[in-house]
């Protein structure tokens, strides 16, 4: 079976994607799969990579996948025409049995590449087009959860064009956040991952600086109260009601002021990961139940990591966000929580491939014309 690992991407999480993809390639069963490598540059160009990189990263624990660019390996995508599609380079065409999408953030988790592969009739791992795009937008995620009576923190949403087109309304929303929530506040882009552009503001001056930073990442941002919280995460896998499973929740205790990009990926001591999270058995089951409800509300398939806040002062539990392609690095919580629940890394990858193929088969069985 040809498994095309897609990594890199036009995203602020490009480097993280490479690290995640390297870890996945090391753990894919070489007996079951022929691993193909497709690297996407920071400016969005696709290149087929030399298969020797697979052997290199499997034999050298310090090696990372690269994205090598040359004209002969530039990729054209081949539609499936009702069957499975593939790729073509100057050297010829290659069929893809399934694409293992390891792209984090923009153009990877936002439904764009999922929609592309749907059109090409190429099966892929993870969530589909709609759930990916919904989960990428933190405001839309909150709206869906609220409509399903799931607990979320209050928020104010700002649009960049309101700064100039409707200044009075824009300033009124900022004032609303200040008056209703008080300081400190969290400011974050609606559609950026790995805490890119997220800032904590303790004063009005810091707030306007935080708004500028967040708007450099997205045209729509959220302001939320910076509640004193514990950060809890839960891995979820599955496509349908009967096979959706939430694993043992874990806890992130950042050594930084909050769990920012550096703490997640650059600083080995950036956070302490505790699995299982130190919560009561009743609360553990509540977290797992809420994780499944949040996953189903967004119509997720394949996998997602559901993130929670627990207010340290009140004990209240809130859903924070869903990450449809969580980190798969050696220190990432998603595979660690699955392993704590009895699902080893290699078996997890097998499951995700199987779920992706089943979702493709289910979708292809539907009538598309009269």
Six token digits for residue 261: 């990009």
Q: Specify whether 147 is catalytic.
A: no
Q: What are phi and psi of 222, to 5 degrees?
A: -115, 145
In eight-state DSSP terms, residue 149 is: T
Options 20, 23, 132, 332, the catalytic residue: 332
Residues 6+ apart with CB under 8 A from 122: 80, 84, 85, 86, 96, 98, 99
Q: Specify whether 194 is catalytic.
A: yes
Can you tell me whether residue 368 is helix, strand or coil? coil
Options 13, 109, 213, 251, the catalytic residue: 13
Nearest-CA neighbor of 248 among 350, 125, 333?
333
Nearest-CA neighbor of 84 among 315, 335, 364, 368?
364
101 contacts 329 by C-beta, under 8 angstroms: no
In eight-state DSSP terms, residue 265 is: I
Place of tokens 């790995």: 194
Nearest-CA neighbor of 298 among 127, 105, 125, 107?
127
Q: What angle do CA 18, 131, 287 make, to 5 degrees?
A: 85
User: Helix 345-364 to helix 14-27 angle, to the nearest 10 degrees?
Assistant: 100
In eight-state DSSP terms, residue 292 is: H
Residue numbers belonging to the annotated binding site for Mg(2+): 307, 321, 323
Q: Specify whether 13 is catalytic.
A: yes
Residue numbers belonging to the annotated binding site for ATP: 138, 186-188, 194-195, 224-231, 320-321
Q: Give the β-pairing of 2-8 and 34-40.
A: parallel
Strand order in the sheet with 156-159: 156-159, 220-225, 185-189, 199-201
Place of tokens 């996407």: 40
Options 133, 191, 194, 304, the catalytic residue: 194
Catalytic residues: 13, 194, 332
């Amino acid at each position: 079976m040809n498994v095309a690992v897609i990594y890199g991407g036009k995203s602020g999480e490009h480097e993280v994607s490479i690290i995640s993809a390297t870890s996945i390639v090391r753990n894919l069963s070489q007996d079951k799969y022929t691993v193909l490598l497709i690297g996407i540059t920071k400016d969005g160009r696709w290149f087929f990579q030399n298969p020797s990189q697979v052997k290199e990263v499997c034999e050298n624990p310090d090696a990372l996948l690269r994205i090598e660019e040359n004209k002969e390996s530039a990729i054209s995508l081949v539609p499936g025409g009702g069957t499975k599609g593939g790729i073509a380079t100057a050297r010829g065409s290659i069929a893809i049995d399934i694409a293992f999408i390891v792209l984090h953030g923009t153009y990877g988790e936002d439904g764009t590449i999922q929609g592309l592969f749907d059109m090409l009739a190429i099966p892929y791992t993870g969530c589909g087009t709609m759930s990916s795009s919904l989960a990428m937008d933190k405001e839309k995620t909150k709206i869906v959860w609220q409509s399903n009576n799931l607990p979320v923190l209050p928020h104010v949403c700002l649009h960049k064009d309101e700064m100039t087109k409707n200044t009075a309304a824009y300033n009124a929303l900022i004032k609303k956040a200040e008056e209703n929530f008080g300081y400190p506040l969290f400011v974050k882009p609606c559609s950026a991952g790995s805490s890119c552009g997220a800032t904590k503001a303790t004063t009005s001056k810091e707030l306007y600086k935080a708004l500028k930073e967040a708007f450099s990442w997205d045209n729509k941002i959220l302001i939320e109260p910076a509640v004193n919280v514990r950060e809890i995460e839960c891995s979820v896998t599955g496509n349908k009601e009967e096979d959706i499973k939430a694993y043992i929740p874990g806890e992130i205790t950042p050594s930084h002021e909050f769990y920012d990009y550096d703490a997640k990926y650059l600083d080995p001591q950036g956070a302490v990961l505790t699995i299982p999270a130190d919560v009561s058995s009743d609360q553990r089951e509540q977290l797992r139940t809420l994780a499944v409800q949040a996953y189903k509300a967004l119509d997720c398939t394949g996998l997602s990591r559901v993130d929670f806040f627990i207010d340290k002062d009140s004990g209240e539990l809130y859903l924070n966000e869903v990450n449809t392609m969580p980190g798969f690095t050696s220190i990432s919580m998603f595979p660690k929580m699955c392993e704590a629940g009895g699902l080893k890394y290699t078996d997890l990858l097998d499951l995700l491939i199987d779920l992706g193929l089943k979702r493709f088969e289910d979708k292809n069985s539907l009538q598309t014309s009269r």
